[in-house]
Amino acid sequence: MIRGLTRLAPFIFGLSALGAWQAAVWGLAVPSYVLPGPIDIVQAYLGDYTVLNPALLSTLTVTVTALLAATAIGVFLAVAMAASNLFRAAIQPWAVILQVTPVVAIAPLIIIWVNQPFIALVVCATIVAFFPILSNTAAGLAATPAALLDLFTLNGASRWEILFWLRLPSALPNFLTGLRISGTLALVGAVVAEFVAGSGGFASGLAYRIIEASYRLEIPRMFAALVLLGMSGIIIYALLGLLERALLRGRDI
Amino acid sequence: MLRLEGIIKRFDTGTLALDGISATIDTGAFVALLGPSGCGKSTLLRLLAGLEAPSHGTIHWDAGHKPGPGEIGFVFQDATLLPWADAAANIFLPLRLRGESRAQAAPKITAALAQVGLSAFATARPGALSGGMKMRVSIARALVNEPVLLLMDEPFAALDEFTRHKLQEDLHALWRRTGTTIVFVTHSIYEAAYLANRILVMSPRPGRIAADITTALPEGLGRRDGPEYSALVRQITATFRDVMPA
C-alpha cells in the first residue's frame, strides 16, 4: 500500500499541480501570452507537432551522439590516466578547466570553427557531458582492491589482463553512475549549444523552436517545447538507470 | 624449502617493520607466524610471496624450489573474490591467467570446489555466499594451481567463532592430506597452537623472531582440548609475557 503510494506520488503531485495551475489561469483570467494553462500547452503541441517532433528528434540525435562520444573519450582518458601518472598529471587540470568553463562561453567559438552545424552541436554537448564519466571511471579504476591486484600479480597477469579482467569490471558501477549524470548533461549541452547556434542562423532543434516562439510571443508553444525537453531528460535518466540495473544484476558490489 | 637470512624491511616512510629475521621453512611444514598487530608478520608474508623486496637480507630458495608465477597460493584476510563472477569462475581465475581454457580447467575447478566442500555452489556469486563460504572459495582459488607454497594472511580473523573452528579443522585436515607447505599469519595464540606444527613467535615492531616452537600435538579430536594443547598455549603466552612491553 505505502509502496504503491510512493510509486504514484510523483504522478499525483504532478496532476494536482497541473489542476491548480489550470484553475489559477482560469480563475485569474491570465492571458495565454503571459502564462498558458496546461490545456493551452497541449493544444499548442497538437497544433504544432509537425514542427516540434522533428525538432525533438534533432535535439535527441545530438544528445545521443554526444553521450556516445563522451563515453568513448571519458573512458579512454580515464584508462590512460590510470595507466600513466605522467599522463594523469598532464591531463587532469585541463579536463577540470574544460569542465568549469561555461559551454555558453565557448559554444560561439566552436560554432565558428566547425563548419558542419550538427558536429558543432555534438562537440559542445560532448564537452559538457564527458567529465562525470571521466571522473567517476577514474575513481573506480583507482579504487580497484589492492589485494586483487596482488592476486593478479602473483599469478603473472599482464597489464592488459589486469586492465580488462580486473580494473575495468571493478570500475563498471562507477562508470554507470557517471554515465547517468552525463546522459542528462548531454541534453543540457545540446540545448545550450542550439541556443547559441540558433541565434547564429541555423535552425533545427527544440531550443531554436523555443527562441523562435519567444520572439513571436507564442508562449504556449514555448511551453510545449519545454515539456518535451523535460520528458526527454526523465526518459534518458530512466533508461540509463535500467541499463545500470541490467548490467549490475546479481553482482555483489 | 627456503631460508631467510637477516631480513630487514624498512618502508619508504622510515618505519622499520622487520629487524633481522632469520629462519628456515621446511618443505611440507605448517608454519604459523604469530604476533601482535603491526609486528610485521604480514610484511614478511608479502616478502615470501615476492610482492615486496627486503631492504637487506636474502631469501634463499632450495635448489629447484623457487616458485614461478602462479606457483604460490595466497589467501588474504578478506576473501577478495571478483564480485561479478560466480564461485567456479573465481576459482578458474589463476588457471585462466596461466592460459588454460575453461574446458581444460573444468575438472580442476570441480576438484577444488569439492576439496573445500562447496560442490553445490559452483554457480553462486559471492553476494549469495556467507563469509565462511566466501573464504572457502578463496582457499579453493589458492589451491587450484596446486601451489608449492600456500601463504595465508589472517584468513579467518573476520569470521565468527563457529565458522572459524570449522575452517581451521578443514584446513588442518587438508594440510595433512596434501602435505602442501603452508605459512599462516595469525594474531591468535589458539589458532596458531591448533593449526601449525611450527610456530614462529614475533615480537612487536620492529619484528624479530622471539621464539621458534616446534609442536607435536596429537591429531584427532583431542587436538583442541587435550592437556598438550593447554600446555602449548601456556608456553606461547609465557613467551609473549617476556617480549611484550609492560
pLDDT tens sequence across B59-103 = 999 877 788 888 899 999 999 999 999 999 999 999 999 999 999
**Test mutation, A149, A152, A153, A154, chain B, max B CBs within 10 A:** A154
Q: Give the C-alpha separation, A196 to A47, whole Å.
A: 27
Distances (CA, A) of B158 to B42, B134, B143, B154, B164: 16, 12, 21, 8, 9
User: What strands, in cross-sheet order, belong to the sheet with B72-75?
Assistant: B72-75, B149-153, B181-186, B30-34, B198-202, B209-214
- Comparing A140-149, A197-206, B229-238, which segment has the lowest mean pLDDT? A197-206
Judge whether A166 is closer than 8 Å to chain B, CB to CB: yes
Tell if the CB–CB gap between A155 and B70 is shorter than 8 Å.
Answer: yes
The full DSSP string for B92-141 is: HHHHHHTT--HHHHHHHHHHHHHHTT-GGGTT--GGGS-HHHHHHHHHHH
Q: What are phi and psi of A85, to 5 degrees?
A: -65, -35
| Statement: residue A2 has pLDDT above 80 | no
Q: Can you tell me the mean pLDDT for A103-122?
A: 88
SS3 for B152? strand
Judge whether B107 is closer than 8 Å to chain A, CB to CB: no
Q: Can you tell me the mean pLDDT for B18-37?
A: 92
pLDDT digits (tens, 9 = 90+) for A214-223: 889 889 999 9
Q: Where are the domains of chain A?
A: 39-247
pLDDT digits (tens, 9 = 90+) for B192-215: 999 999 999 998 888 889 889 998
Is the domain A39-247 a CATH 1.10.3720.10 member?
yes
Residue A199 — very low, low, confident or very high, per pLDDT cuts 50/70/90? low
Judge whether B128 is closer than 8 Å to chain A, CB to CB: yes
Which residue in chain A is spatially nearest to B128 when comparing CA positions? Answer: A252
Burial of B110 (0-12, 13-18, 19+ CB in 10 A): middle
Q: Cα distance from A156 to chain B (closest Cα, Å)?
A: 5
* Interface A:B, Cβ pairs < 8 A: 57
Q: Cα distance from A223 to chain B (closest Cα, Å)?
A: 45
What integer pLDDT is reported at residue A204 of this predicted model? 77
Residues in chain A within 8 Å Cβ distance of B46 = 150
Structural domain harbouring B93: 2-243
Number of domains in chain B: 1
Grid coordinates belonging to A19? 489542476
Judge whether A247 is closer than 8 Å to chain B, CB to CB: no
pLDDT digits (tens, 9 = 90+) for A8-51: 998 899 999 999 999 999 999 888 888 899 999 999 999 989 98
- Closest CB from A148, A155, A252 relative to B97: A155
CB A108 within 8 A of CB A46: no
Which residue in chain B is spatially nearest to A166 when comparing CA positions? Answer: B82
Q: What is the CATH number of the domain that holds B165?
A: 3.40.50.300
Q: Give me chain B's average pLDDT, please.
A: 90
SS3 for B60? strand
Residue type, B164: R
Q: Can you tell me the mean pLDDT for A236-243?
A: 95
Residues in chain B within 8 Å Cβ distance of A165 = 93, 96
What integer pLDDT is reported at residue B246 of this predicted model? 67
| Statement: residue A252 has pLDDT above 70 | no
Tell if the CB–CB gap between A155 and B49 is shorter than 8 Å.
Answer: no
Identify whether A173 is preceded by a cis peptide bond (ω within 30 of 0): no
Residues of A numbered 119-158 whose beta carbons fall under 8 angstroms of chain B's beta carbons: which are they? Answer: 145, 147-148, 150-157
What integer pLDDT is reported at residue B155 of this predicted model? 94
Judge whether B147 is closer than 8 Å to chain A, CB to CB: no
- Closest CB from A150, A161, A252 relative to B51: A150
SS3 for B58? strand
Closest CA to A137 of A185, A90, A104, A180: A180
What integer pLDDT is reported at residue A1 of this predicted model? 63
Which residue in chain A is spatially nearest to B97 when comparing CA positions? Answer: A157
Which residue in chain B is spatially nearest to A145 when comparing CA positions? Answer: B80
- Closest CB from B93, B96, B127 relative to A251: B127
Residues in chain B within 8 Å Cβ distance of A153 = 51
CB B151 within 8 A of CB B93: no
- Comparing A166-180, A190-204, B34-48, B125-139, which segment has the lowest mean pLDDT? A190-204
What integer pLDDT is reported at residue A155 of this predicted model? 92
Tell if the CB–CB gap between A156 and B51 is shorter than 8 Å.
Answer: no
What integer pLDDT is reported at residue A185 of this predicted model? 95
| Maximum CA extent, chain B | 58
Grid coordinates belonging to A139? 575513481
Q: Can you tell me the mean pLDDT for A154-164?
A: 92
